[in-house]
Structure 1
Amino acid sequence: MTPFARLHRTGAPLLLPNAWDHASALALAAEGFPAVATTSLAVAAGAGLPDGASATQDETLRLALTLGSGPFLLSVDAEGGFSDDPDEVGEFARQLAAVGAVGLNLEDGLGPVPVHAAKIAAVKAAAPDLFVNARTDTHWLGEGDERDTLRRLDAYQQAGADGVFVPGLTDPARIAALVRQVQVPLNILYSPTGPTLAHLTDLGVHRVSLGSLLYRRALAAAVETATGIRAGRSPRGAAPTYAEVQALARAAD
């Protein structure tokens, strides 16, 4: 079992924050997070491209190259693998592993189950040690059909997924039921209006991702600061100094 896989088996959920650049990843690692993920929304937004449209393969690999040698375990959000050809997805996963990534989040977008299962199998063949977190969008994009959710997760587990991810699922009873019904670690996306981290721990969840939340809050804080100064208000809250941000860059060296 790899060190990243072991983080899913400690008895408490792996709280996985999602970074969008070198500075955000290093700052999170400095706060003691042993693993950091990327977020496809931030990668796409930073490049002026749409998320979930297979438009950011180069940007995703470039960020992985930047972060893969950092003092943390890196998991990469790769949308649906940027292709419907399993061999191409497997090759992309091999490239991610080669630059230091230890995990891969792969979403089905409610596409055909056999296609997504084939992608998972191809990734495990090309990069056996890469932890594949197989995401189904039945709750994120669909109606939350539990039978379809289980059908998809079962196929993905059989294809070799190391973990399964159901973003958009916030009902405690349904989360607890899924924990009992799947054979691999269950990942839930944290929601400010959903169960707390402590509650998710009690439900038996193995991994809690923050997704794009940190990036979206950072954008909101930047706009709030600028508009506040324009209105004559002093900025509130803490901010790293220039020297502290510079130190993050030196840490990479």
Structure 2
Amino acid sequence: MTPFAALHHAPGPLLLPNAWDHASALTLAAAGFPAVGTTSLAVAAAVGLPDGAAATRDETLRLALTLGSAPFLLLSVDAEGGFSEDPDEVGEFARQLAAVGAVGINLEDGPVPVDRHAAKIAAVKRAAPGLFVNARTDTYWSGDGSGTRARLDAYQEAGADGVFVPGLTDPREIAALVRHLDVPLNVLCTPTGPGLPHLTDLGVRRVSLGSLLYRRALGAALEALDDVRAGRTPRGTTPTYAEVDALARTRAQKG
């Protein structure tokens, strides 16, 4: 079992914060998080591209190249649907991620037929056997959750190391799914869903923050601007110039 996989079986769920660039990832690692994910929405928005449209393959790989070799964090990459409908191309992308040091990949199905997404998962496991595949299904985001178990069963059989069901918030359904699965269940932290202690009791093994931190950062920027405009001192934690500059200098020294 890899160190990243082991985090899914430690006491309590793995709380996985999601970064969008070098500075955000290193800041999260410095705060004590052993593993950091990326968030496709933020990676796309930061460069002016749409999320979920397979438009950020190069940006995603470039970010993995920047972060994957950092010795103090384990990196899991949000790869949308693999940036291709060809399973072999998805497998090759996964191989490239593993080659630059990523330890996990998040693959979403969206409207893709279950057999096609299962084929992508199998191709990733062939191309990069050590990469932790977190297979996401959007059955709760795009509908009422119908077909969730059938999809997850197929993804487990294809070799997924964990499964991700964003939009699933009902405690009874979460607990039932945990009992049904043979692999760790990942859910998304949401204001309307159970909190971390409750999710722990339900048996959830991984809790992702998705784009929350990025969206909060944008909101904090607007709040700070409002404070300045009103003659108030901006609230909240603000890293110093030197602290942020040191993040880039750390990378330069290691390079």
Q: TM-score if structure 1 supplies the norm length?
A: 0.97
The Cα of 1:136 is off from its aligned counterpart by: 0.3
Provide the identity percentage.
78
Alpha-carbon offset, residue 177 of structure 1: 0.4
Output the CA distance in 2 between the equivalents of 1:191 and 1:250.
35
Superposition deviation, residue 142 in structure 1: 1.8
**1:141, distance to aligned residue in structure 2 (A):** 1.7
RMSD of aligned Cα (Å): 0.8
The corresponding residue for 2:69 is: 69
Shift of the alpha carbon at 1:242?
0.7
SS at match of 1:93: helix
For residues 211-240 of structure 1, the C-alpha deviation after alignment (integer angstroms, 9 at most, x for no partner) is 000000000001111122123222011211
Match for residue 111 of structure 2? 110
Residue in 2 aligned with 1:173?
172
Q: Where does residue 192 of structure 1 map in the other structure?
A: 191
Q: Name the counterpart of 1:99.
A: 100
Amino acid at match of 1:58: D
For the 8 Å contact 1:49–1:55, the answer to whether it is kept is yes
1:141 corresponding residue in structure 2 = 142
After superposition, the C-alpha distances for 1:117-136 in whole angstroms (9 at most, x for unaligned) are: 00000000000000000000
- In the aligned structure 1, how far is the partner of 2:236 from the partner of 2:151? 44
The letter for the 1-side match of 2:112 is G
Aligned match of 1:248: 247
SS at 2:216's partner residue? helix
Partner SS for 2:190:
coil
Query: 2: CA distance between counterparts of 1:144 and 1:225?
Result: 39
- Mapped to 1, the partners of 2:165 and 2:43 lie a distance apart of 21
Q: Which runs of 4+ in 1 moved over 6 A?
A: none
- State the number of aligned residues: 251
Distance in 1 separating the partners of 2:158 and 2:11:
25
Alignment map for 1:14-93 (pairs within 5 Å): 14-70=14-70, 71-93=72-94
SS in 2 for 1:139: helix
Deviations 1:28-74 (A, max 9, x none): 00011000000000011011111001111001001111111122000
- Secondary structure of the residue aligned to 1:140 is helix
Query: Partner amino acid for 1:116?
Result: H
* Structure 2 unaligned regions, length at least 5: none
Q: What amino acid is the match of 1:221?
A: A
**Structure 1: how far apart are the matches of 2:98 and 2:191?**
32
Distance 1:88 1:211 in 2: 25
- Alignment-derived partner of residue 11 in structure 1: 11
Deviation at 1:139, TM superposition (A): 0.5
Q: What residue is the counterpart of 2:220 in the other structure?
A: 221
Alpha-carbon distance between aligned partners in 2 of 1:238 and 1:17, rounded to the nearest angstrom: 18
CA distance in 1, matches of 2:215, 2:31: 20
